[in-house]
Structure 1
Amino acid sequence: MEKCKLRYQFVTTAQSTCRFMTFFRPNINAMSGYVPGEQPLPGTQVIKLNTNENPYPPSPAALQVLRELEGELLRRYPDPMAGAFREAASQVLGVPADWILVGNGSDDLLTMIIRACSEPGQRVVYPMPTYVLYRTLTQIQGAEFVEVPYQENYTLPVESLIEAQGAVTFVASPNSPSGTVASVEQLEKLAAHLSGVLVIDEAYVDFAETNALEVVKKYDNVIILRTLSKGYSLAGLRLGFGVANPALLEGLIKVKDSYNVDAVACAVGAAAIADQDHKNTNANMIKVSRAQMADDLQKLGFHVLPSQANFLLAQFPEGNAEFLYKSLKERGILVRYFNQPQLMDKLRITVGTPEQNDALIKGLGEVLT
Structure 2
Amino acid sequence: MNYFRKSIHEMSGYVPGEQPPLGTKIIKLNSNENPYPPSPKALKVLQQIDPEMLRRYPDPTGKSFRIAAGKALGVPDDWIAVGNGSDDLLNLIVRAVGEAGKPVVCPSPTYVLYRTLAEIQDAEFVEVPYPDDYKLPVDLLIAAQGAVTFIASPNSPSGTAISVADLEKLAQDLSGILVIDEAYVDFAENSALELTKKYSNVIILRTLSKGYSLAGLRLGFAIANPTLLAELNKIKDSYNVDAIAYAVAAGAIADSDHKTANAEKIKASRSQLAVIFKELGFEVWPSQTNFLLVRPPNGDAQRIYQTLKERGILIRYFNQPRLDDKLRISIGTEEQNQILLKTLKEIL
Q: Is it true that 1:241 corresponds to 2:221 in the alignment? A: yes
Q: Distance in 1 between matches of 2:289 and 2:103?
A: 28
Report SS of the residue matched to 1:213: coil
Partner amino acid for 1:290? Answer: R
Q: 2:142 — aligned with what?
A: 162
Superposition map of 1:264-343 within 5 A: 264-343=244-323
1:85 Cα deviation (Å)?
Answer: 0.3
State how far apart, in whole Å, the 1-side matches of 2:9 and 2:104 are. Answer: 20
Aligned counterparts, 1:166-315, within 5 A: 166-315=146-295
Q: Give the Cα separation in 2 of the matches to 1:68 and 1:181.
A: 39
Paired residues of 1:294 and 1:304 also in contact (CA < 8 A): yes
AA aligned opposite 1:38: E
Q: Which residue of 2 aligns with 1:37?
A: 17
Structure 1-normalised TM-score? 0.94
Show structure 1 runs of 5+ residues with no match: 1-17
**Equivalences for residues 11-90 of structure 1 within 5 A:** 18=1, 21=2, 23-90=3-70
Total equivalences in the alignment = 348
Q: Give the partner amino acid of 1:327.
A: T
Deviation at 1:43, TM superposition (A): 2.4
Identity of aligned residues (%): 68
Verify: 1:99 aligned to 2:79, yes or no. yes
In structure 1, the residue matched to 2:101 is 121
RMSD: 0.6
SS at match of 1:314: strand
1:290·1:312 contact (CA, 8 Å) conserved in 2?
Answer: yes
Give 1:243's aligned amino acid: I
Q: 1:147 aligns with which of 127, 130, 139?
A: 127
Higher helix fraction (1 or 2): 1
State the alpha-carbon separation in 2 of the partners of residues 323 and 32 from structure 1: 24
Give a deviation string over 1:161-196, Cα, whole Å, max 9, x none: 000000010000011101111111000000000000
Deviation of residue 26 (structure 1)? Answer: 1.4
Which amino acid in the other structure matches residue 366 of structure 1?
A: E
The alpha carbon displacement at 1:320 in A equals 1.2
Runs of 4+, deviation exceeding 2 Å: none
What is the CA distance between 1:29 and its match in structure 2?
Answer: 1.1
Aligned partner of 1:12 in structure 2 is: none
CA distance, structure 2, for counterparts of residue 315 and residue 350 of structure 1: 14
For residues 248 and 317 of structure 1, the distance between their equivalents in structure 2, rounded to whole angstroms, comes to: 47
**Cα distance between partner residues in 2 of 1:41 and 1:282:** 24
How far 1:246 moved relative to its partner? 0.5
Counterparts of 1:59 and 1:44 in 2: how far apart (Å)?
A: 24
Displacement after TM superposition at 1:41 (Å): 2.5
Question: In the TM superposition, what is the alpha-carbon distance from 1:113 to its structure 2 partner?
Answer: 0.3
Larger radius of gyration: 1
Equivalent position SS for 1:81: coil
Per the TM alignment, residue 119 of structure 1 is displaced from its structure 2 partner at its CA by 1.0
Q: Tell me the residue number matched to 1:346.
A: 326
The AA in structure 1 aligned to 2:91 is T
What per-residue deviation string (whole Å, max 9, x for no partner) do you get for residues 306-353 of structure 1?
100000000111011000100111111110000011101100000000
Q: What code does the residue aligned with 1:60 have?
A: P
- Deviation, structure 1 residue 144: 0.6
TM-score by length of 2: 0.99
Show CA shifts across 1:87-134 (max 9, x none): 000001111100000000000000110011121232000001100000
Structure 2 residue matching 1:342: 3-state secondary structure:
coil
Q: Give the secondary structure class of the aligned counterpart of 1:40.
A: coil
Q: Secondary structure at the match of 1:232?
A: coil
Q: CA contact under 8 A between 1:120 and 1:141: conserved in structure 2?
A: no
Q: 3-state DSSP class of the match of 1:329?
A: helix
Given that 1:123 and 1:166 are in contact with CA atoms closer than 8 Å, whether structure 2 keeps it comes out as yes
Q: Counterparts of 1:265 and 1:44 in 2: how far apart (Å)?
A: 25
AA in 1 matched with 2:70: S
> How far apart in 2 are the matches of 1:89 and 1:70?
22
Q: Distance in 2 between matches of 1:151 and 1:317?
A: 21
Q: CA deviation at 1:42?
A: 2.9
